[in-house]
Amino acid sequence: MIQISRYHSRSRLLNKLIRIFTNPVHVISALALIFLVYMVAFPIGQILLETFQEDGRGGAASGGLTAANWVNVLSGSISQPLFYKPLFHSLSIGLTVSILSFLLGGGLAWLVMRTDFRYKKSMTMLAILPYMLPSWVMAFAWMSVFKNDRIGGGQGLFYSVFQISPPDRLAYGFLPIVLTMTLNYFTFFFLLLSVALGAVNASLEESARILGASSARTIRKITLPLLIPAISSGFILTFSKALGSFSVPAFLGLPTKYYTIATMLHSSIQNRMIQEAYVLCIVLLMVCALLIFFNQKAIGKRRSFATITGKDSRKHLYSLKKWHRPITWTVLGFMGAVSALPLIVLTLQTFMMSNSQFSLDQFTLHFWIGESNPAIASGEVGVLKNDALFSAIGNSLKIAFIAASIAALMGLLFGYIVSKRRNRLDGRAIEQLSYLPYLIPGIAFSAIYLSMFATPSWFMPSLYGTITLIILICVVNELPIATRSGASTMHQIGGELEEAAYVQGANWGRRFTRIMLPLSKKTLFTMFLLLFISVIKELDLIILLITPENGTLPTLMFKYAESGFQQYANALMLIIVGIILITYFIASKIGKIDFTKGIGG
Amino acid sequence: MNKTLRKWIPAGLALSSLLAVTACSNDSTNEANAEEGSSWLEEANLDANETPDELYELAKEEGKVVVYSQSSRIKDVKASFEKEYPGIQVDAFDLGTIEIVEKVAREQEAGLNTADVVFVKDGGGVVSGELLSEGMLHKYAPDDIVEKLDETFLDEPGLPFYFSTRAIFMNNEVYDESTITNWWDLTDEEWKSKIVMDDPLLSSDTLDLFTTIVQNADDMEAAYEEKFGNAIELDGTDNAGYEFIKQLLANDPVFVSSGDDVVEAVGTPGQEKPPVGITTSSKSRHIEEQGYTAEFLYDVEPKMSVAGTSYLYMANNAEHTAAAKLLIRWMAGEADGQGEGFRPYNVPGSWSTRTDVSVEGQRPSSDLSLWPYDGEYLYDHSNDVRNFILANQ
């Protein structure tokens, strides 16, 4: 009673303020914004500022402000080859890869979630496998098949089988880039849509069928609209990954001088034309900011996508009937060929003395357990004998595990805010900001973090040289995936569940941990897995920040590759894949999660 | 996290917080650095000629030395150094040229002095243009080593230590050496779409070669006349160097993303008409191991190529000066050139800058005809050349 009277004695404004500041959603939203402004907006601001700095070369005084960098890129004499053509290439790659990934990932997700397809677990495994491999592996595999005589040094498998040189168009440039990237990145669509499809209440579809709608009409009018948040997230992630990817377009594009913005950006960085590099980087960021803006408009118009309503429903699985066998074998065969085959070839390579000849007399264990032999790879010992290996495994595990866990939770929280405050400024700002780190080139991002955290500032201790900073930058860099998948799940969870708990007197913390978290368990696991994979592969982003003591598996792999020790690098890659697989199994056992079943399954 | 890291974090923290208190803006931080630098310079006494034994005594108290290295072979140096000088730990960071420049510049701007020794090429002149010009690196070149240097390396900003070069590679199973004797041969119809090289837009070493060709346009002009018998006519370009690049690009060279791809393309045995390649001579190390049949050409007019020199520098305000001096001496091969520290770099495709060290089976460096590496010129002009390549590709 005393409390109530005190409440009434305060002015309305004050009450309103208190309500605003004690509302956990507001508090979290404010904290998230502060975090994102400092960790994302501030670095981007630095990049933007740099684009207006004068280049100090050729005796020109540096430090002045100028628009010359922008003018040079956008309308200079070389803006066609430097900017417009690569931009056009990048956009067409991004768009095509997104569409193809949607078809492939979505089709497979549908097959696994909504039909009586039998090998669901193996299918899921095969769909995640390509994402575990570094993206150049797929490009490398493509090249070994379709290489023609444009680059010398013998032709690929296609030629040896058909005795016809594949045309340049098939071997290099747009087509192979798009196809290999699709095989690498369709995993986003597959996982996001699997989760979303698992959550779609089949009774909605059944109602439509009962009312006489055809299958096609049901998919078009019921299923697809319900999947829109997941589709748009998948689209944004795939598009930006494709836009930012460097190694595939470099490997497959250079032979026919097919450049993208990412290769041009890399060129500017390699030649230390910082201002030009940063202009290109800002352009990439703007393209994606626009994309997400339209996406927000599209989603913002719709009222709700709640498909997780607390009521479970019987899952109706489409029967493949007589198509079962052909579909099974085609799909498993295709997926096996694209995911398992490159892995098998690389595995074999680590047991062959020469990396281009496969035969039994070339067999060796040297690259795994060999002692130093000056005749082989300048006396390099086998990877398992390398003293640095176990500390690298330890560091990689530590970084990937902590960063993925934090980022997954953070993504869920951010996604919660984004969905709760969909049409508010803070929700939009969080969505926009958390999405940008993907497109900041790793070296620029880490260089700015180096400066920000070299000395204590803004209540932050100096983190430079610690593993904490590496974890931090990985978390921030993974926010795009984390927030996108968090948001797409949160969009699906019906508000009435939380409201019911609210009415029962559950506070926010309880509501979040007892309702929202369990309902998004599968997303959380999916996110953790995706983040774990991408953090453990991270190289560019952290190379400036690591010290010799906290070297990771990719840094070790980079050293081998740089020395031209291909087999050692492959062996290390296999170790990474092995670690990911073990993590996958352990995590799914602990989390009792089966992808192939519905939510919470 | 291990002990050594813990040891230097407080040091960095203390110094950086001190700077944060005294300095309000970036500019004043730099000034503070410069002032401190001068007293450090006096104390470090980089002109002194201590013997290795004297340095070792001092270095033992420092206990460690931190080196930023562009080459992963630094781990062999670490092993041999720690064996020779017990009690001094080598912390070796293995980074690319651009990463080293970025890291050193950012650290020094923030007042952190993590690095002691920096081992790096001057790719595109960025090290001289951005680090040396700001006083972030210093030269340490003891007399007993300098007197062994080839005279072309005497007037350099750091201690030149070895070099490799971007050379023309040819399949020696199919072609004989007289096939290409002049850079202009590459513009012949015969080699249309048959030249494989690292993409000059992405490889700053390749761009350095082209920029040096532009710098030495006179040589290129003379070589043109030697090949064709008449004076060059420029087709809308500024000089014979640019003209060469234009004609080379018109010959549709194939760009790849790594030097390993170049030697593979050139040297894979059994090809009917293998391409020629342009990449770093240091790739010849792998040629035999991989079973390729390729070699690089020495006798090409007007010059074989440009020397891509690797330097050793002392970082400004280095905390372990004596150990750093000792490590630089060790890597440079010590006074007698027999030091174990140089061995990882004394390999085919690389040349010591010293007259008393050489690799068996390859021409001594004194017999190579190379353009000198002019970091300053490259820093100021490589952008123009890169833009020219973009416009003409």
Nearest to B393 among A77, A257, A550 (CB): A257
Cβ burial, residue A542 (10 Å; 0-12/13-18/19+): buried
Cis peptide before B302 (omega within 30 of 0): yes
Q: Does A541 touch chain B (CB under 8 A)?
A: no
Nearest residue of A to residue B254 by CA position? A255
Min Cα–Cα distance to chain B from A576, Å: 21
In sequence order, the 6+-apart residues with CB closer than 8 A to the CB of A232 are: A295, A298, A299, A488
A539 and chain B in contact, CB less than 8 A:
no
Say which residues have a Cβ less than 8 Å from residue B252's Cβ, sequence separation at least 6. B192, B193
Query: Stretch A158-171: mean pLDDT, rounded?
Result: 87
pLDDT, position A301: 61
A59: which chain B residues are within 8 Å (Cβ-Cβ)? Answer: 380
Is B102's CB within 8 Å of A250's CB? no
A225 at B interface, C-beta within 8 A: no
A457 contact B CB<8A? yes
| B110 contacts A564? CB cut-off 8 A | no
Q: What is the ipTM of this complex?
A: 0.86
**pLDDT band of A327, cuts 50, 70, 90:** confident
Q: What pLDDT, on a 0 to 100 scale, did the predictor assign at position B197?
A: 95
pLDDT at B361: 81
Residue with tokens 């290439």: A89
Q: Which residues of B147-161 are buried (b: 16+ CB within 10 A; e: fewer)?
A: ebbbebbeebbbbbb
For residue B130, pLDDT over 60 is answered with: yes
Nearest to B82 by CA among B4, B146, B144: B4
- Per-residue pLDDT band for B378 (boundaries 50, 70, 90) equals very high
pLDDT above 90 coverage of chain B, percent: 51
Q: Which of residues 134-163 of A touch B (CB under 8 A)?
A: 150-154
Chain B residues whose CB is inside 8 A of the A456 CB are: 13, 16-17, 20
Instruction: Report residue A271 as tokens.
Output: 């030649």
B2 interaction partners in chain A (CB closer than 8 Å): 549
Give the integer Cα–Cα distance in Å for A400 and A187.
Answer: 19
- Confidence band for A461, pLDDT divided at 50, 70 and 90: confident
In whole angstroms, give the CA distance from residue A432 to residue A32.
12
Give the separation between CA A493 and CA A491, rounded to whole angstroms: 6
Q: State how far the Cα of A235 lies from the Cα of A230, in Å rounded to an integer.
A: 8
Average pLDDT over residues A404-428: 87
Comparing A148 with B206, the larger pLDDT belongs to B206
Closest CA in chain A for residue B12: A455
On the question of pLDDT at A393 being above 70, the answer is yes
Q: What is the pLDDT of residues B311-340, one digit of tens each?
A: 999 999 999 999 999 999 999 988 888 888
**Which residues in A lie closer than 8 A to residue B102 (C-beta atoms)?**
443, 447, 450, 544
Interface of A with B in 178-207 (CB under 8 A): none
- CA gyration radius, chain A: 26
Considering only CB atoms, which chain B residues are within 8 Å of A269?
98
Contacts of B196 in chain A (CB under 8 A): 151-152
Nearest beta carbon to residue A81 from set B202, B204, B390: B390
Q: What is the pLDDT of residues B222-280, one digit of tens each?
A: 999 999 999 999 988 999 999 999 999 999 999 998 888 899 899 988 888 899 999 99
Query: Average pLDDT over chain B, rounded to whole?
Result: 86
Question: What's the per-residue H, E or C state across A392-412?
Answer: HHHHHHHHHHHHHHHHHHHHH
Output the CA–CA distances (angstroms, integers) from residue B108 to A163, A238, A269, A459, B100, in the order listed.
Answer: 59, 38, 20, 22, 12
Distance between B74 CA and the closest CA of chain A, angstroms:
11
Q: With contact defined as beta carbons under 8 Å apart, do A393 and A377 qualify?
A: no
The answer, yes or no, to whether residue A200 has pLDDT greater than 90, is: no
Q: Which residues of A touch B382 (CB under 8 A)?
A: 271
β-pairing verdict for B254-256 and B195-198: parallel
φ/ψ bin of A534: left (φ > 0), alpha (ψ from -120 to 50), beta (otherwise):
alpha
Helices A387-420 & A425-435 angle (0-180, nearest 10)? 160
Q: Is A408 exposed, middle or buried (0-12, 13-18, 19+ CB in 10 A)?
A: buried
Per-residue pLDDT averaged across A353-357, rounded?
68
Residue A2 has pLDDT above 60, yes or no: no
Higher pLDDT pick, A293 / A600:
A293
Binding-face residues of A in 549-588 toward B, CB within 8 A: 549-550, 555, 559-560, 562-564, 566
Which chain A residues contact residue B391 at CB under 8 A? 77-78, 81
A151 and B106 within 8 Å at the Cβ level: the answer is no
User: Alpha-carbon distance A39 to A29, whole Å?
Assistant: 15
Q: Is the separation of the CB atoms in A317 and A114 below 8 Å?
A: yes
CB-CB under 8 Å, A548 with B91: yes
C-alpha to C-alpha distances, B2 to A70, A127, A549, nearest whole angstrom: 46, 39, 7
Q: Which residues in chain B are contacts of A564 at CB distance < 8 A?
A: 260, 283, 285-286
- pLDDT over 50 at B26, yes or no: no
Tally of residues, chain A: 601
- Which residues of B are less than 8 Å from A82 in CB distance? 387, 390
Residue A154 and residue B202: Cβ atoms within 8 Å?
A: no
> Are the beta carbons of A465 and B114 separated by less than 8 Å?
yes
Tell me which residues of chain A, numbers 338 to 357, contact chain B at a CB-CB cutoff of 8 Å: 354-356
Tokens of A155: 């032709």
Give the pLDDT score at A97: 96
Q: Check pLDDT > 70 for residue B19.
A: no
pLDDT at A328 over 80: yes
Chain A and chain B share a number of CB contacts under 8 A equal to 178
Query: What would the two tokens of residue B125 be?
Result: 């002149």
Selection from A542, A419, A406, A398 nearest residue A469 by Cα: A542
User: Is the separation of the CB atoms in A446 and A543 below 8 Å?
Assistant: yes
For residue A545, give the chain B residue with the closest CA: B103
* Interface list for A 42-71 with B (CB within 8 A): 57-59
Task: Select the residue of A78, A250, A456 nearest B390 (Cβ to Cβ).
Answer: A78
Which ranges of chain B does DSSP label H, i.e. alpha helix?
A: 3-22, 26-44, 52-62, 74-84, 97-109, 126, 143-146, 204-215, 217-228, 240-250, 259-267, 284-289, 321-331, 375-392
Per-residue pLDDT tens digits for A250-272: 999 999 999 999 999 999 998 88
Nearest Cα neighbor of A552 from A373, A429, A402, A436 is A402
Answer yes or no: is pLDDT of B30 > 50. Answer: no
Question: Which has the higher per-residue pLDDT, A376 or A568?
Answer: A568
More confident position, A451 or A3: A451
Q: Nearest by CB to A462, which of B13, B202, B391? A: B13
Q: Are strands B195-198 and B276-280 parallel, antiparallel or unpaired?
A: parallel
Q: Nearest-CA distance from A19 to chain B in Å?
A: 39
* Interchain CB distance below 8 Å, A255 and B256: yes
Cα A498 from chain centre: 30
- What does pLDDT average to over chain A? 84
pLDDT exceeding 70 applies to what percent of chain B? 91
B91-126 tens-digit pLDDT: 999 888 899 999 999 999 888 899 999 999 988 889
Place of tokens 């400024």: A425
Distance from CA of A397 to the nearest CA of B (A): 14
Q: Does A333 touch chain B (CB under 8 A)?
A: no
Q: In A, which residues are within 8 Å of B290 by CB distance?
A: 354-356
